[in-house]
Structure 1
Amino acid sequence: MEVPMPAITISREIGSKGDSIAEQAAKRLGYQLVDKNTIEKVFLQFGFTDFKETYDASGFWAQFDPRRSEMVSFINRVVETMVYHGNVILLGRGGFALLKGYADVLNVRIQGPFALRVQRVMENQVFSSLPHAEEFVRESDKMRRDFVESVHAGYWDSASAFDLVIDTGKISTDMAVGWLESAVQKLSLVQPDERLTTRSLQIDPVLLDSVTQVLDEQLA
């Protein structure tokens, strides 16, 4: 079996251009981009028909109940299976925390100054006022922070949790994409020796078949 190229996880702030960087890097590397919509398709195959509504519900990730635990467990299994499948860039879902310590995973953080992120968000969406846009950005940051801190007991914006941190207030999209491409190429040349890699993950073959189907359909 051919060993996949190193996976990339991207944790990004809203308005940081993280989505655009991930999309362009995926095209450059020949990777598949795995986002919330991709994961939802796998959930649907296993009968989780209300994934999006539940995932986006205000305060859901701060709760502690069986439904939340079930979703967290399955999200983690899907993420691990996506990475095991190989050649993917994973957007969000706390991937950096779940996959910390694997030698063949590059964990990336993309961020930017608050005022600049608000400006970018206002260029793409209509807001009644600047304070409204600022509140929107703060709420997005809070939801992402709540998810990571409640699910993985980690800090969403801690630089020490990442292999590479990119500030798009200073670094252009093209430069960021180039950095990711270069980092993956260098990482793929490193011999794993006895280090932990995603090849050691215990994967459910039924879930792997589902993930493969979803990713194949995404390519079509």
Structure 2
Amino acid sequence: MISKLTPKNTRSIADYVKEIKETNRLRSGSTLDHPFPTITISREFGCGGYPLAEELVKRLSTKDQKWLLYSRELILDIAKETDLNLELFNESAKSGGSKLFQDLQELLGVAPSDFTRYKLLAQNVRIIGDQGNAVILGAGASILAQKETHFFNVRITGSFNFRVSRVARKLGISRYEAEKMVAEKTDERLEFIQSFSKHDISDPGLYHMVLRNDHFETEHMADLIIEGMKKMNLI
């Protein structure tokens, strides 16, 4: 059922790794004085994070520079592909792999050996984000990006009633079922982050922009995000 809210990836993991390496090659030859930007989107369950991420990828992609969307589920799938993950990490290590782990330890508030369940997820979030031209949906990416100036962190919120109505409509379930699902999934997301991080994912201080989904349509939120990134000279 949840796949209707966050569609399952249909491309192979190898395709994504190839795209990341190509982006890295383009970045290496770029004359920009800063890395390619990355957008992280954190959202309350029931908000339209995936449609927004798709809209941003569509608008920001050009013939020469393609943007990619990475959901938490996709990043976990990449993390499970041990050989490909090692290949990605080796690419990252050329530009400071040891610093990556130091940053993760500081940001997560625990030693790497203490967050085995999240180590590959966190590692891949940072590796993908460091390549740039990426929209990362969920996975606590905004927390992992706190020290990076080329990340633009967005939080999408909505009233309980808005989120329940949207879930009921999208999944074709009763309001009672939707209320139960929204409450449970909201708690699960908070627990996921709090189980390995010293941060509260709902803290507005983690984000460059916080948007109310019940006040703005997908296209309007994309407008605001792109304008905000322009103001910060990220695009």
Superposition TM-score, scaled by structure 1 size = 0.72
Supply the AA of the counterpart residue of 1:148.
Answer: I
Structure 2, unmatched stretches of 5+, are: 1-27, 62-66, 85-111
Amino acid at match of 1:118: V
> Which amino acid counterpart does residue 80 of structure 2 have in structure 1?
L
Distance in 2 (alpha carbons) for counterparts of 1:141 and 1:13: 7
Q: 1:152 to 1:181 in 2, by over 3 A?
A: same
> 2:133 corresponds to which residue?
87
Structure-to-structure mapping, 1:111-126, within 5 angstroms: 111-126=157-172
Aligned residue type for 2:136? L
1-structure distance, mates of 2:203, 2:52: 20
Structure 1 spans left out of the alignment, 5+ residues: 49-65, 191-220
Conserved in 2, the CA contact under 8 Å of 1:14 and 1:140?
yes
The answer to whether the Cα contact below 8 Å between 1:13 and 1:141 also exists between their aligned partners in 2 is: yes
Q: Which runs of 4+ in 1 moved over 4 A?
A: none
Counterpart in the other structure of 1:26: 57
Q: Deviations over 1:61-114 (max 9, x none)?
A: xxxxx9982121111110110011111011011111111132111110001111
Q: 1:147 Cα deviation (Å)?
A: 1.2
Matched with 2:16 is none
Corresponding residue of 1:139: 184
CA RMSD of superposed structures (Å): 2.4
Q: 2:145: which partner in 1?
A: 99
The percentage of aligned residue pairs carrying the same residue is: 27
State the Cα deviation string for residues 132-164 of structure 1 (Å, max 9, x = none).
210100111111101111221211211122110
Higher mean Cα deviation, 176-185 or 36-45? 36-45
1:185-204 equivalence runs, <5 A: 185-188=230-233
**1:92 is matched by which residue type in structure 2?**
G
Q: 1:179 to 1:38 in 2, by over 3 A?
A: same
CA positional deviation for 1:47: 7.2
User: Higher RCO, 1 or 2 (CA under 8 Å, sep at least 6)?
Assistant: 1
Aligned to 2:72: 36
What is the letter of the counterpart of residue 159 of structure 1? P
Residue 161 of structure 1 corresponds to 206
Q: Structure 2 vs 1, CA of residues 136 and 47 (structure 1 numbering), >3 Å: closer, same or farther?
A: farther
Question: Displacement of 1:122 after TM fit?
Answer: 0.5
Matched-pair contact (CA < 8 Å) for 2:150–2:234: no
Contact 1:7–1:106 (Cα < 8 Å) also in 2: yes
> Which amino acid is 1:104 matched to?
H
Note if 1:178 corresponds to 2:209: no
- 1:136 and 1:100, CA in 2 relative to 1: closer, same or farther beyond 3 A? same
- TM-score, with normalisation over the residues of structure 2? 0.67
